[in-house]
Amino acid sequence: MKNLYRKNNFYLKKSDLDALTGDLTASYSDGFGVNVEEGANLPRRSEIISLTAKLEELLFPGFDGEERYHQDSMHYRIGNLLETVYNELCALTVRCFCYMCKKSGSNHDCRTEERSREAVMALLKALPELRTIARSDIDAAYAGDPAARSTDEIIISYPAVKAIEIQRLAHVLYKYEVPFIPRMMTEYAHSITGIDINPGAEIGNGFFIDHGTGVVIGETARIGNNVRLYQGVTLGALSFPKDSCGMLVKGLRRHPTIEDNVTIYANATVLGDVTIGAGSVLGGNVWVTESLPPGTKVVASAENLIRYRKEEHIE
């Protein structure tokens, strides 16, 4: 029995365990998919989730975290939280910059600490403005949703608010070219809300996503002020150019520009580097791949809808 490991009445021989361990660890030798402490290691998902929660707490104190606030101690507690976020985020961004520097094979000074402090301070200094913008988003949700009973209800329960505000936080780090962290933040938001907004997307004030599930907004999308989207809307790319080696070309503009005061209803799709003019309305299920002038209204063809319904009932 000395050579056996016991768990729930199952037995694993030590020789089998050693063989399994040897085979598996041998597969780690090329470094792929392995995040080790030696050198510049990547941030872990748990670290990013914890950090994101602290940033959300700075935006909306007392709504989501475990901390309880009192007016007379608010300055002290927010100061402590800011210092914690600064230290944690600087450490994480240094690791990310170092990792990319090491991966590129660069031997020169990559200014990792300087770049990290610059990015983190930019985010922390942006928080008052991000709170103002968040208020415009929440006011837009309250004005646009007859089921909303209060702005507090929107902050505490609407998934779109969480997805949008996490994206706005991540976008600041994205602009400072912080690797990994912005995308990890927005993919965390995606996983818990069903709303997929790339950290590179530029979004104006008063943005409202009603219901939200299945919304996709690509990296180079631009969204103006007072835009409203419904569930299932896609602002995506129409094509993906490749280089001479057949690899996708990165960084090109490939997503739509949505101007001010546009409404896009459920399951509409807008693809490519096109512009939807101010004040336009796109009805549910439409497919748009060309630019539209301001004030355009697009609806799905009634004839097509009727035909679709008839086909649905064919036995």
CA distance 125 to 274: 33
Side-chain half-sphere of 20: how many Cα atoms within 13 Å?
6
In degrees and rounded to multiples of 5, residue 107 shows phi and psi of: -110, -5
Angstrom CA distances, 205 to 35, 133, 171, stand at 38, 6, 14
pLDDT (average), residues 130-138: 97
Whether 264 and 247 have beta carbons less than 8 Å apart is answered as no
Distances (CA, A) of 100 to 4, 94, 200: 44, 10, 19
**Separation CA 121–CA 90 (nearest Å):** 9
Query: Which pair of tokens denotes residue 7?
Result: 């768990």
pLDDT tens figures, 226-276 = 999 999 999 999 977 777 667 767 778 899 999 999 999 999 999 999 999
Q: What is the pLDDT of residues 24-75, one digit of tens each?
A: 999 988 888 888 776 568 899 999 999 999 999 999 998 877 777 788 888 8
How many other CB atoms are there within 10 angstroms of residue 194's CB atom?
Answer: 16
Evaluate whether 297 touches 281 at the Cβ level (below 8 Å). Answer: yes
- Which DSSP letter does residue 50 get? H
